[in-house]
Structure 1
Amino acid sequence: MANIVFTSRNRLGTRRRQLRRQRRLKLVRVIWQVLAVGGISGGVFWGISQPIWLIKEAEQVEIKGNQLLSQHNIRSHLPLSYPQSVWQIQPSAIQQALIDNAPISEAIVIRQVFPPRLTIEVTEREPVAIAQPPIGTTTPGTEAIVGWLDAEGSWMPLSSYTELEQTGQLPNLRVIGNFEMYRPHWQQMYSDLSRSPVDIHEIDWQNPANIILMTEIGEVHIGSYSTHFWEQLQVIDRMRKLPEQVDVSQVDYIDLRNPNSPLVLMISDQSSLSEASFSK
């Protein structure tokens, strides 16, 4: 009986020593793993912080595809601080910053590791019109906020294209009115305008119930914007011979609210002429 007890105690002691040894080995492995990860992380951090990977100045950022905006203008919107490791730069963050803060509709950012460079290909929002708020809506001490419109209906502040003002290459078209009122219709309206041979230099949208176009043949009232707009432009195109048959200085305006029955209202005697009288 005593031998059995002695043997059990020996086995129990041996088992305990084995468990302690296993715990020590496991602890050693954990320590080595921590040291290895820390060493790798430190090595990576040290490596990416070396001067060979650094974007040190704005000239290492190349801008492509810009026609209206200067490289300096685009670089000013980049969320970069110099020097910065090329590995720490997030292309998606740069892309979003340019789309949100600059008149750019698309940006592709390419990182080059050696030599460290950034290449950014941009698609600019081309201004096609000057957007002016309704006349007389400003209060003392405030200024009317004038901006640019692109073909898709995106509004941009005037400061976006200071180069255009300096060179005088401004859009010929001006839109007056509440931007939010005509924004839903602008893309289709401008698409029709760009296809029409009629020269229109101003759209007065201050009264949505009676939109006024300033055209090469004079002032044209079209009523509210509708699916008949393209048809109204076609009527204006047919009436371009009006100055040859009528003294346009005596024309008050052209009423195209009903494109099937256009009228020319005269100033002198408030008389009107139908399209048939001058379209021959």
Structure 2
Amino acid sequence: MSQTQTRPLPPGAERRRQLRQQRRRERLRNLWRLLVLAGLAAALGYGLLRQGWTLTGPEQVEVLGSRQVKADQVIQAAKLRFPQTLLGLEPRRIADELAATLPVEQVQVIRLMAPPRLRVTLVDREAVARAQRRTPRGMEQGYVDRLGQWMNSSQGQLLNGEEAAGLLVKGWHPRHRAALTEVLEQRASLGKDLLEIRFEPAGTLWLRSASLGDVRLGPADAQLKRRLNVLEHLVKELPPQLKGRQLRSLDLSDPEQPELAIAGPAPTPAKSP
């Protein structure tokens, strides 16, 4: 009669078996921890998206850098509606809409998460003159800024127009911006009585001054700066024989040979009895 004999386990085999079981239990515990943490993170993220990272009112819109544009104007121009999730906003689109609608030179839009808010940083544009331009629908009234850029009437109404009211730019066109900017830069040195900057359809540039009358500057070419310097000199040091006489026109097409047209003789001072 045969008997089955049980072989003894090699030394350390039982210990290795226990270690393998322990590692399996540890892996299962780690897997459960990972699943629980993933669920909590998903729930927290969903809650933040639905409640935490949401603009609930206008007070969460910050406007920095502008002295004239207020938060309500930004909200209206950007077409913001509340409540609004932050992640649903497109900063580039908002910046483009604000730049096209508001009197600003630069726009930066940033979404901030803690606490949730929308930060809009602006650099103001300033109207320096009234302006007219011809469009397919007729003559349009507006303004220009210091860079010669067009500003529509709604943009100009947001600004203090007292300084801009005394100067009118006629015949504005994008191709004239560089020449217009050059004239505006020298506006202070040309005298406070500068009333008009006019571009003719052919491109000839004219100025109208209360003291010098009409000034023909000619084409807006490389000699424009030289012509403006000559005009500045005449404004400061008008020849004695011309003082007290009204000029009908001044032609600076050739800045080396200015041509003046006199309106009439100088008034004769009254004799004392």
Per the TM alignment, residue 66 of structure 1 is displaced from its structure 2 partner at its CA by 0.6
Matched, 1:201 2:202: no
Per the TM alignment, residue 77 of structure 1 is displaced from its structure 2 partner at its CA by 1.3
One of 170, 181, 185 as aligned partner of 1:176: 170
Name the SS of the counterpart of 2:260 in structure 1.
strand
Q: For the residues of structure 2 that align with 1:98 and 1:230, how far apart are their CA atoms?
A: 35
Q: What residue in structure 2 maps to residue 154 of structure 1?
A: 149
Q: For the residues of structure 2 that align with 1:91 and 1:209, how far apart are their CA atoms?
A: 40
Per the TM alignment, residue 236 of structure 1 is displaced from its structure 2 partner at its CA by 1.6
Q: What is the one-letter code of the residue matched to 1:83?
A: P
Is 1:94–1:109's contact at 8 Å kept on the other side of the alignment?
yes
Matched, 1:223 2:223: no
Q: What residue in structure 1 maps to residue 106 of structure 2?
A: 106
Superposition RMSD in Å: 3.5
Deviations 1:114-143 (A, max 9, x none): 332222111122222222136xx89xxx66
TM-score scaled to structure 1, two decimals? 0.67
Matched, 1:44 2:26: no
- How many corresponding residue pairs? 229
Per the TM alignment, residue 257 of structure 1 is displaced from its structure 2 partner at its CA by 1.3
Per the TM alignment, residue 250 of structure 1 is displaced from its structure 2 partner at its CA by 4.0
Q: What residue in structure 2 maps to residue 186 of structure 1?
A: 180
Per the TM alignment, residue 158 of structure 1 is displaced from its structure 2 partner at its CA by 1.2
Q: For the residues of structure 1 that align with 2:241 and 2:262, how far apart are their CA atoms?
A: 13
Q: What is the one-letter code of the residue matched to 1:91?
A: P
Deviations 1:66-107 (A, max 9, x none): 123333323321242111123333323322322233332322
Q: What residue in structure 2 maps to residue 9 of structure 1?
A: none
Q: For the residues of structure 2 that align with 1:46 and 1:106, how far apart are their CA atoms?
A: 35
Instruction: Identify if the C-alpha distance between structure 1 residues 172 and 72 changes in structure 2 by more than 3 Å, giving closer, same or farther.
Output: farther
Instruction: Identify if the C-alpha distance between structure 1 residues 114 and 99 changes in structure 2 by more than 3 Å, giving closer, same or farther.
Output: same
Per the TM alignment, residue 196 of structure 1 is displaced from its structure 2 partner at its CA by 3.8
Over the matched positions of the two proteins, sequence identity in percent amounts to: 25
- 1:1-280 correspondence to structure 2 within 5 Å: 44-50=45-51, 52-133=52-133, 144-164=139-159, 168-170=162-164, 172-183=166-177, 185-191=179-185, 193-194=186-187, 196-199=189-192, 200-208=194-202, 210-215=204-209, 216-240=211-235, 241-242=237-238, 245-246=241-242, 250-268=246-264
Deviations 1:199-218 (A, max 9, x none): 43311112545421113433
Is 2:213–2:246's contact at 8 Å kept on the other side of the alignment?
no
Per the TM alignment, residue 255 of structure 1 is displaced from its structure 2 partner at its CA by 1.5
Q: For the residues of structure 2 that align with 1:160 and 1:115, how far apart are their CA atoms?
A: 32
Instruction: Identify if the C-alpha distance between structure 1 residues 196 and 227 changes in structure 2 by more than 3 Å, giving closer, same or farther.
Output: farther
User: Tell me, which stretches of 5 or more residues in structure 2 are unaligned?
Assistant: 1-36, 266-273
TM-score scaled to structure 2, two decimals? 0.68
Q: For the residues of structure 2 that align with 1:186 and 1:118, how far apart are their CA atoms?
A: 37
Q: For the residues of structure 2 that align with 1:189 and 1:250, how far apart are their CA atoms?
A: 23
Is 2:198–2:207's contact at 8 Å kept on the other side of the alignment?
yes
Is 2:245–2:262's contact at 8 Å kept on the other side of the alignment?
no
Deviations 1:160-211 (A, max 9, x none): 131335x6353543210142452354344444x2574544331111254542
Instruction: Identify if the C-alpha distance between structure 1 residues 56 and 161 changes in structure 2 by more than 3 Å, giving closer, same or farther.
Output: farther
Q: For the residues of structure 1 that align with 2:143 and 2:39, how far apart are their CA atoms?
A: 53
Name the SS of the counterpart of 2:225 in structure 1.
helix
User: Tell me, which stretches of 5 or more residues in structure 1 are unaligned?
Assistant: 1-35, 270-280
Is 2:103–2:158's contact at 8 Å kept on the other side of the alignment?
no
Name the SS of the counterpart of 1:82 in structure 2.
coil
Q: For the residues of structure 1 that align with 2:220 and 2:239, how far apart are their CA atoms?
A: 26
Instruction: Identify if the C-alpha distance between structure 1 residues 57 and 170 changes in structure 2 by more than 3 Å, giving closer, same or farther.
Output: farther
Name the SS of the counterpart of 1:47 in structure 2.
helix
Q: What is the one-letter code of the residue matched to 1:218?
A: G
Q: For the residues of structure 1 that align with 2:150 and 2:197, how far apart are their CA atoms?
A: 16
